[in-house]
Structure 1
């Protein structure tokens, strides 16, 4: 179960890195204020109004109803961070977090017994039974 979770998590992290580094270009074709076509990475197809205007062969008529819009979301260019790019507070936090996280998985060979050198007291009478005080 743990291996499957690790594989899923690593795949999601790889997709996240890929999505953040790729530049996305969205191209829209608008005709009379309505979106006719949206395209990622390619040019959006037109509505056919341009070809109809050229078929009429009238050079004086402009096409005010159609327009193309495109915008680009740029991805990250520099993915390599150096230790000097971090503030002093962030460096201290990362070092202490890493140290405390690795100390969680260190197993102790022997558990220390705090009263190893002292023998337990000898009970002459059982006080709980005498006072009839029991934990329920």
Structure 2
């Protein structure tokens, strides 16, 4: 149960980082006051009623106002997730070094066990001492 909870938490945290760094563009096309199309990550399609701009050489000075309008909303994601190590103080650096050293040595064990009596041979037993003195442990 504990491992399942950790896996779910890790996946959720990965999605939080993914969506906080992702940028979104939301585009809308209005014809008058009516919303015709909206699009995410791309440009919204027009209604086909957009007026063409007149060339500069034409004799026509009358300019009609276009009834269509486009709005683009852009949501910027977070761009700097990297910690700048140039701004760390001496106290923070010494804490990180001490914590890392203590954490790494926490899991370090001894490789061999020291047995001090390996050079000595056991005494020769001629009689069973427990039976001789009739001392039995229950």
Q: TM-score, with normalisation over the residues of structure 2?
A: 0.50
CA displacement at 1:74 relative to structure 2: 1.2
Aligned counterparts of 1:86 and 1:44: Cα–Cα separation in 2: 46
Aligned counterparts of 1:34 and 1:85: Cα–Cα separation in 2: 52
What is the root-mean-square deviation in Å for CA atoms of aligned residues?
A: 3.2
Aligned counterparts of 2:5 and 2:37: Cα–Cα separation in 1: 39
Aligned counterparts of 1:86 and 1:21: Cα–Cα separation in 2: 24
Aligned twin of 1:46: 46
Report whether the alignment pairs 1:77 with 2:96. no
Q: Partner of 1:37: helix, strand, or coil?
A: strand
Q: Work out the number of aligned pairs and report it.
A: 90
Aligned counterparts of 2:66 and 2:34: Cα–Cα separation in 1: 13
Q: What does 1:22-33 align with in structure 2 at a 5 Å threshold?
A: 22-33=22-33
Q: Could you say which structure has the larger radius of gyration?
A: 2
Aligned twin of 1:119: none
Gap runs ≥5 in structure 1: 103-136
Gap runs ≥5 in structure 2: 53-59, 104-138
Q: Which has the higher helix share?
A: 1
Aligned twin of 1:131: none
Aligned counterparts of 2:41 and 2:88: Cα–Cα separation in 1: 35
Aligned counterparts of 1:62 and 1:15: Cα–Cα separation in 2: 49
CA displacement at 1:62 relative to structure 2: 3.9
CA deviation map 1:64-112 (0-9, x unaligned): 221111021111111112466579xxx6xx98xx9xxx9xxxxxxxxxx
Aligned counterparts of 1:86 and 1:48: Cα–Cα separation in 2: 57
Aligned twin of 2:115: none
The ranges of structure 1 where at least 4 consecutive aligned residues each deviate by more than 6 angstroms after the TM superposition are none
